[in-house]
Amino acid sequence: MKMKKVVLILSVFAITFATNSCSDQFDDIDINPNSTEKPLTYGLFNSANKELMDNTRDQWQSARITLPWVQYSAQRAYTEEDRYQYRLSTGVSLWSFSYRVAQDYKSIIDLNNDPATSVQMAKYGPKENQIAAARVMLSYVFLTLADSFGDIPYYSYGNKDADFQALNVNGQLQPKFASQQKVYADILKELKEASEMLDENNIVFSQGDVLFGSGAKLKKFANSLRLRVATRVKGVVPGAEAHIQDAIASGVMTSNDDNVGVGYENNLINPAPLFNDFRTRSDFAISKTFVDLLKGNTGNFNLDPRLFKFATKSKLSAAELADGTNKSLKARILDGSITESTDPADFNGMPYGIPSSLAPSQASSANFFSKNILKPNYTEILMEYSEVQFLLAEANGWSQTNYVNGVRASMERWGVATADINSYVASLPAASKENVLTQKYITLFMQPYEAWAEYRRTGYPNTLLLPGQTGTLNVASGGVTTYTFNSLIAGLTDLPKRLFYPTSVQTLNTVNYQAAAAAIGGDKMDTKLIWDNN
């Protein structure tokens, strides 16, 4: 069937809004009676946003790939993925769902532009703002794809470049891969145009808008995201430096009220992805590498009170053990009844990159993420004000003011007491490239794809354990011993530089896959992307 062929070849489309029949004679019966040709655009938007976060922040594409690679976490049992031998199926999934949600965002644009549906769509919000929101989210999706793979099939609303062949289910089943240069340049253009086309004094959607709520917030997000992208590709993509200044001048986030994230519900029907995964599995702990940085054992900073907000203590207190409920530590995390410890001795972290045979001996004393994260109504952040301040610090020559503002905003978002914030900020070493980017890494906690990109771009933080280096772990006698972090990917001596192209694409779009692999320097995990200066 034609629809099945589309799905197999592109690995991206779960549904389209064009009629794709098995054959002409079945046009009248090959129709889903539960579908509609005029869907609610805000429903499409929210569904796509949720699917995007469900899949980039879950136990697969996040917790078994990028979350451990940047050493926010470490696995408590199966450590092969921590040592870079990730399951290729997770890369296939990242590719597939990304194009699927991109198709949903494009459908919002198409529905608003099609004369047959535009009048109905106008009931759901101003046309320009709906289209702008879709363009911004398309940019977000394609940014993650390009940052993860390199050259990719790409779609642009405002650029009809012949190399941009993605999301054309009727016209192109085997799309070309656009170069990174073209993709990043067009993302910058799309974000600028989306920001300029929208009415910031109006709503985005007339109802059901749980992401932005106003054109003003959408505009700040578009400009802030453009600042992120332009900073990544400055010196590589022509015009990026001008985009940095223009994005700032056009208005970026100015407080934590401008943070953009997908909030989940306080129930078991629509809970946050990692909370839902933690209910049935206990595979992930906060990494010892990250705990040591927050404790001040590595890096240039003192004890960071965010440690107590990020991680759960490794054992129950005497009062909790004696309260008669017989609740385990995990049960108390899940129901939120676990008490917060502010004793650094209660935090160890899971040694990163150890052989699986050693993992059981370390797991019992390793810390889970905190109840602030492992809760059903957690908000998965797309971008936040604190990151913007660190981007501004870099743009302003490693500005002390922006650096301090970024640290303070991050701590406020996580609920650190004002007195503790003031004390920590007063102890900060002076702003420098190393200090600003290390604090940016802390701020990006639980946003692992962005942290991975920043490490590849900058080499910071320089506190990560790299292949060939020696780490420490606890032994039964109470002492410590050493181990060597060995990469399971031959020749990979740093963090992975990219993901392999999906096996489905290699098989079903062979000619264009081979051309893309050759263009980037080989479909390998140590092939650098164009902005990778580390």
- Could you count the other beta carbons within 10 Å of the beta carbon of residue 46? 18
In a domain, 507, yes or no: yes
The answer on 377 and 323 residing in a single domain is yes
> What pLDDT is attached to residue 478?
80
pLDDT of residue 37: 66
Helix or strand (DSSP H, E) at 99: helix 88-113
Mean pLDDT calculated for residue range 504-529:
97
Q: How far apart are CA 174 and CA 6, in angstroms?
A: 9
pLDDT of residue 38: 74
Q: What percent of the chain has pLDDT over 70?
A: 93
Give pLDDT, residue 322.
Answer: 95
In this prediction, residue 36 has a pLDDT band, given cuts at 50, 70 and 90, of low
Q: What is the pLDDT of residue 22?
A: 40
- Quote the pLDDT of residue 10: 40
Same domain, 49 and 151: yes
Region 236-258: mean pLDDT is 98
Asked if residue 2 has pLDDT above 80, the reply is: no
One DSSP character per residue, 100-124 reads HHHHHHHHHHHHHH-TTTHHHHGGG
Is 26 inside a domain boundary?
no
CA dihedral 298, 302, 304, 308 (to 10 degrees): 80
Per residue in 281-308, pLDDT (tens digit) is: 999 999 999 999 999 999 999 999 999 9
What DSSP string runs through 199-256? -TTS-SSSS---S-SSHHHHHHHHHHHHHHHHHHHTTTSTTHHHHHHHHHHH----SG
* Domain presence at residue 421: yes
187: nearest Cα among 150, 163, 222: 222
Based on the fold, state whether residues 215 and 297 are members of the same structural domain. no
Alpha carbons within 13 A on the beta-carbon side of 451: 26
pLDDT range class, residue 479, cuts 50, 70, 90: confident
Residue 21 has pLDDT above 60, yes or no: no
Same-domain pairing of 292 and 363: yes
- What is the percent of the chain with per-residue pLDDT over 90, rounded to a whole number? 90
* Cα–Cα dist 485/316, whole Å: 31
On whether both 195 and 310 belong to a single domain, the answer is no
Q: List, as one string, the DSSP characters of 42-96.
A: HHHHHHHHHHHHHHHSSTTTIIIIIHHHTTSEEESS--TTTTT---HHHHHHHHH
Q: What is the pLDDT of residue 121?
A: 97
Asked if 422 and 403 touch (Cβ cutoff 8 Å), the reply is no
Q: According to the model, what pLDDT value does residue 169 have?
A: 82
Average pLDDT over residues 366-374: 98
Report pLDDT digits (tens) over 458-472: 999 999 999 999 999
What is the distance between the alpha carbons of residues 376 and 280, in angstroms, rounded to a whole number? 14
> Which has the higher per-residue pLDDT, 11 or 515?
515
Q: How far apart are CA 249 and CA 269, in angstroms?
A: 42
Q: Is the pLDDT of residue 3 over 90?
A: no
Secondary structure class of 263 (helix, strand, coil): strand
Average pLDDT on 396-401 reads 98
Q: What is the CATH number of the domain that holds 114?
A: 1.25.40.390
Residue 189: how many other CB atoms lie within 10 Å: 18
Q: What pLDDT band is residue 502 in, cutting at 50, 70 and 90?
A: very high
pTM: 0.93
Is 422 part of any domain? Answer: yes
Domain presence at residue 531: no
- Do residues 263 and 278 both lie within one domain? no
Whether residue 426 is contained in a domain is answered as yes
- If asked whether residues 234 and 375 sit together in one domain, one would say no
304 and 452 share a domain? yes
Chain segment 311-342, per-residue pLDDT in tens? 999 999 999 999 999 999 999 999 999 999 99
Label residue 30 by pLDDT band (50, 70, 90): very low
Q: Are residues 382 and 395 in the same domain?
A: yes
Domain-ending residue, one of 461, 485, 509: 485
Q: Is the pLDDT of residue 408 over 90?
A: yes
Q: How many separate domains does the chain show?
A: 2
- Condensed to tens digits (0 to 9), the pLDDT of residues 97-148 reads 999 999 999 999 999 999 999 999 999 999 999 999 999 999 999 999 999 9
Q: Is residue 490 part of a domain?
A: no
Rounded (to 5) percent helix, strand, coil in the chain? 50, 5, 45
- Give pLDDT, residue 476: 79
Please indicate, yes or no, if residue 344 is contained in any of the structural domains: yes
CA angle, corner 434, sides to 448 and 420, nearest 5? 75
Q: Are residues 428 and 505 in the same domain?
A: no
Domain that holds residue 305: 273-485
**Residue 246's pLDDT is what?**
98
Residue 507: pLDDT over 60: yes
Sequence-separated contacts (24+) of 355-362 with Cβ below 8 Å = 355/79, 355/483, 355/486, 356/77, 356/78, 356/79, 356/80, 358/473, 358/483, 359/75, 359/76, 359/77, 359/78, 359/79, 360/77, 361/473, 361/474, 361/475, 361/476, 362/76, 362/473, 362/474
Residues 261 and 287 grouped into a single domain: no
Domain match, 103 and 249 both: yes
Query: What would the pLDDT profile of 48-69 be if each residue is shown by its tens digit?
Result: 999 999 999 999 999 999 999 9
- pLDDT tens by residue, 176-200: 999 999 999 999 999 999 999 999 9
79-89 residue pLDDT tens:
999 999 999 99
